[in-house]
Structure formats: structure tokens, C-alpha cells
Amino acid sequence: MRLRLPEERPTEPPTGYKIAHPMLSQDGTRAGFTGVSLGGALPYGVLADASCVYGLRHRAPSRRCDCGFHCVHDRTTAEALLCTAEHRAAVLLEVTVLGRYIRFERGFRYARQRVRTATVGACACGTVAAALADAGWGRSGWRALAPSCAGCLHGRTSVSLAGFARLAGERLRVVAGRGASVAMAGLGPADDLGVPELAAEAALLQARLDWFQAQLARLGERGPGEGGRRG
Ligand SMILES: [Zn+2]
Ligand SMILES: [Zn+2]
């Protein structure tokens, strides 16, 4: 005879919080996240099933293993993790805990996850982020992204917050947070976008145009015949 823990049957799936690095596929067509510790090698999509990170043949989570998705109950507990130097560029995720889960004092370990909202911190320069740009590291086939303002892009591979949400799919919301100025970038047709989203997109376009014109000017300095006069 086995003793069993009482099983919870919540009417609504629980909500949790965690931090992760936003990732963009090499071809730029898919967006996802990768964990900051256990399982960090495997990028996951907005809606994803956990598998054992040790390759063991059991369903995750298993009581005898520490695999499965992890999250904490409190937003502030997850936010605190963003203070450490190596997590500064990570984003805060609000997730819905789906499937089987194991409840702990501080959070859950569970089988299936839907990321509902990603809150993106400020650019390294302190300005509210308008985009997620190449962070300079990644996994095989995936580039890690970090928050960037329009002025700090400098021609790096990047996606706007709305663009990241669109690539990630599943109605993910991507929010630029920090302080009083909060801009929200959602998914969907342009008529759903408000002034903050459009202003962020405009700032991005302007930065891209500035960079583009600087490159053109540089080519132009090399003299005619090098493409300086071509539109
Ligand atoms: Zn396992
Ligand atoms: Zn910046």
C-alpha cells in the first residue's frame, strides 16, 4: 500500500511567476524563452510541455527527480531574481500552470505551461526598452535577446516587443516595464495598437533609419561609383 498526498483539483489553473531569457530562432521566424538555471539548454515556446532534462523516461514532474517547469507563487520573489548581475537582461514571465503539478512552499514544479505575459526590463542604458536585441550569446540555432532602447540597437539583430509577441504566438503579451513609464505591446492587427505601442515602433524605425543613413553616408564618402548615389 502506498501513501498518497492529497490531490488538488483547482477550478482554475494556478498562476505563477519566473524569469527567463527571450530567444529568437536563427532564421528569425520563431520566438521563445530559455530558463536561467535547470533546463536552460532547451528553449521553450509560449505553450510547452516539460520533459525530463536528464533524459530519463518518466513524465515530468516526477517526485524522484527535479525536472519539470518551475515557477514561484509571488511576483516579487521572481522579480528579486532579476537583481543579480547575470539575470539583469532576463524577463519576468507570468505563467499559467497546466497539467500535473507538485506544490512547494514557494512555488510549483509542473508538466505544462502557458506564458501569458513577458515583462521586459529597461535597456542597459536605463531607457525603457523598445525592442529585444541580440544579447551576444545563445544556444545552437537560437540567439538570446536582451532589452534595448532604440538608441542602443546599433544595427544588431532585433525585434520590437510587438514583433516578439507575434512570433511567439498564442496571444502572448509583451510589456515594457520599469517605473512609471509602462508601454504595452500586444498582438494583433495595427488598429489594436495604441499610442505607446506606435510611439515605440516609430522610435525603432527612426533608429533603424539613422543607422541606415549612417551606413549610406559612409559608403558615399568612398566616392561616386561605390553606390553613394543609388537610392
Ligand atoms: Zn526527470
Ligand atoms: Zn539604451
More confident residue, 197 or 162: 162
pLDDT of residue 185: 46
Distance 222 CA to ligand 2 centre (A): 30
- Which neighbouring-strand residues pair with 98? 112
Query: Residues 218-224: what's their mean pLDDT?
Result: 74
Closest listed ligand to the CA of 149: 2
Here the cell at position 19 is 524569469
Distance 89 CA to ligand 1 centre (A): 28
pLDDT of residue 3: 60
Distance 124 CA to ligand 2 centre (A): 6
pLDDT of residue 138: 94
Residue 122 backbone phi and psi in degrees, to 5: -75, 160
Q: 85 vs 89, 141, 171, 172, CA distance in Å?
A: 9, 25, 30, 27
User: Could you read off the pLDDT of 64-107 as tens digits, one per residue?
Assistant: 998 899 999 999 999 999 999 999 999 999 999 999 999 999 99
pLDDT of residue 220: 81
Res. 140: pLDDT tops 70: yes
